[in-house]
Structure 1
Amino acid sequence: MFFQIKSYLHFLWHSKNEHAVHSPFVFNLLTKCFYDKKSKPEYAILKKYRNSLLANNKTIEVTDFGAGSKVFKSNTRVISKIAKTAGISPKRAELLFRITNYLQPDTILEIGTSLGLATSALSLGSRSVGMKAKIITLEGCPETAKQAQLQFQKFNFNTIRSEITEFSTYLQNCTLNTEHFSLIYFDGNHSKKATLDYFEVLLPTITNETVWIFDDIHWSPEMEEAWKIIKNHSKVTVTLDTFQWGLVFFRREQPKEHFVIRT
């Protein structure tokens, strides 16, 4: 906790808003997307999705996996408590919706479904601009994935393909040399090694318009180390640090710049 407080104070000291940004691409992203305060009808659906989980007091067996699909933790948890403590916050879900809506990705990969709170934002964001992006979401726990799948059906999110799998196993077996993902949301394993492994294995899928969103980049010293390595990678041109998230762009026409942005 002390580390995160220290990191947040450091973030506040260095963070800026759109007035300190001279990149037209980033300026437009901030003013037209991040700082868009207009109410959206999709926000009500996000709230309804969340509330349906918060009202669900069913107990399920939650299983987490280590490397090579090895189970390292299994326990029973109440769905409402998972939704309250482990899912994306309402504010972040709305921002993820806006990012998806603004950038209009046609293919999306989510690493870490949980109960699908972020997945619902990704789905609504693509659906609201008259397109339905193909969404693949990965979850290691069968029971958690099952509950998310029931939610997707209930809310008619029919462009989502839910995969129950250990993340690295799926990525190693995926045809990444021929696949591409316009947006990838990394929220499955908050360790330096896993984050960097996913980063390296998914590099063949990038295009000039790709955006990657890494969750909890200041969660721990090793996650901050992973974030620094990612920022310095030769193929990365623009990054945005919002404290909770790190956004990564690979736009070849952009000069290499790193922004620390208040949201």
Structure 2
Amino acid sequence: MTTGNTVQQLLKYFRFLTSATNQHGVHSPFVYAYVTKCLYKKRPYHVSKSLKVLLKSTAYFNAERIMYLGDDGPCKAHVLENFPDIEMVSEAADIVVLPKNTPYDSVKDFLSHEKAKHNDTMLFCDAPHGSPQNEAIWEALKAHQKVTVTIDMFYCGAVFFRREQAKEHFKIRI
């Protein structure tokens, strides 16, 4: 990453902080429980903030099936190390991992494939502010008609498809 990109990321992060909140700014019971019982719960994972959110979410939601859209890098190894019984699938996943720099077409295909997700599926988006392409994907996810809740944590994002939930977008400091 060049010095210009580093400065640009820092500026994005400071802008994010000015509009982000903690659990006190959340009025959705589902999101409040996720923030307080999952994101803010201390866990002994010694990994990046983004991967820590994925691991905590996997435990919190008792995920049994996980799907990766694109190159997972070291992510899959960490998940399997911490959750050896989790099943890698191509549809009906509890958690879908969207690694940074995943092509938009992969995301579009996933969103159009109804069997790939269910009402309680969480789409984990790594580095939604990491590049202009990632930001465009994040904005497209937020605008998608089936998406009801997004939680922007700057380093990563969580997307939910809960039919019983009102459409809301949150920015949470972690």
Q: Write 1 or 2 for the structure with the bigger share of strand.
A: 1
Q: Which amino acid aligns with 1:133?
A: I
Q: CA separation of 1:121/1:95 partners in 2, compared to 1, >3 Å: closer, same or farther?
A: farther
Report how many residues are paired: 168
Residue matched to 2:8 = 3
Residue matched to 1:27 = 32
Residue matched to 1:109 = 67
CA deviation vs aligned residue, 1:163-217 (integer Å, no higher than 9, x gap): xxxxxxxxxxx6xxxx3111111116345x3454354354431111100011111
Asked whether the equivalents of residues 101 and 125 of structure 1 are also in contact (C-alpha less than 8 Å), the reply is no
Asked whether the equivalents of residues 49 and 155 of structure 2 are also in contact (C-alpha less than 8 Å), the reply is no
Specify which of 93, 98, 101 is matched with residue 186 of structure 1: 98
Asked whether the equivalents of residues 190 and 219 of structure 1 are also in contact (C-alpha less than 8 Å), the reply is no
Work out which of the two has the higher radius of gyration on C-alpha atoms and give 1 or 2. 1
Specify which of 110, 123, 127 is matched with residue 216 of structure 1: 127
CA deviation vs aligned residue, 1:233-252 (integer Å, no higher than 9, x gap): 11000000001112100011
C-alpha separation between the residues in 2 aligned to 1:120 and 1:32? Answer: 25
Q: CA separation of 1:246/1:92 partners in 2, compared to 1, >3 Å: closer, same or farther?
A: closer
**Cα distance, 1:15 vs structure 2:** 0.5
**Cα distance, 1:229 vs structure 2:** 1.4
Please state whether the residue corresponding to 1:208 is helix, strand or coil.
coil
Two-structure CA RMSD over aligned residues (Å): 2.2
Q: Which amino acid aligns with 1:123?
A: L
The runs of 5 or more residues in structure 2 that have no matched partner are: none
The runs of 5 or more residues in structure 1 that have no matched partner are: 48-88, 137-173
Q: CA separation of 1:100/1:20 partners in 2, compared to 1, >3 Å: closer, same or farther?
A: same
Residue matched to 1:231 = 142
C-alpha separation between the residues in 1 aligned to 2:150 and 2:129? Answer: 14
C-alpha separation between the residues in 2 aligned to 1:126 and 1:252? Answer: 28
The alignment's TM-score, normalised by the length of structure 2, stands at 0.84
Residue matched to 1:167 = none
C-alpha separation between the residues in 1 aligned to 2:156 and 2:117? Answer: 19
C-alpha separation between the residues in 1 aligned to 2:106 and 2:13? Answer: 21
**Is 2:165 the counterpart of 1:254?**
yes
C-alpha separation between the residues in 2 aligned to 1:188 and 1:198? Answer: 16
Asked whether the equivalents of residues 104 and 126 of structure 1 are also in contact (C-alpha less than 8 Å), the reply is no
Q: CA separation of 1:236/1:25 partners in 2, compared to 1, >3 Å: closer, same or farther?
A: same
The alignment's TM-score, normalised by the length of structure 1, stands at 0.57
Q: Which amino acid aligns with 2:137?
A: A
Specify which of 80, 83, 86 is matched with residue 123 of structure 1: 80
Asked whether the equivalents of residues 97 and 124 of structure 2 are also in contact (C-alpha less than 8 Å), the reply is yes
Identity of aligned residues (%): 34
Q: Within 5 A, what are the aligned runs for 1:164-179?
A: 179=91
Please state whether the residue corresponding to 1:93 is helix, strand or coil.
helix
Q: Within 5 A, what are the aligned runs for 1:91-110?
A: 91-110=49-68
Specify which of 115, 120, 130 is matched with residue 204 of structure 1: 115
CA deviation vs aligned residue, 1:126-154 (integer Å, no higher than 9, x gap): 45xxxx22025xxxxxxxxxxxxxxxxxx
**Cα distance, 1:125 vs structure 2:** 4.9
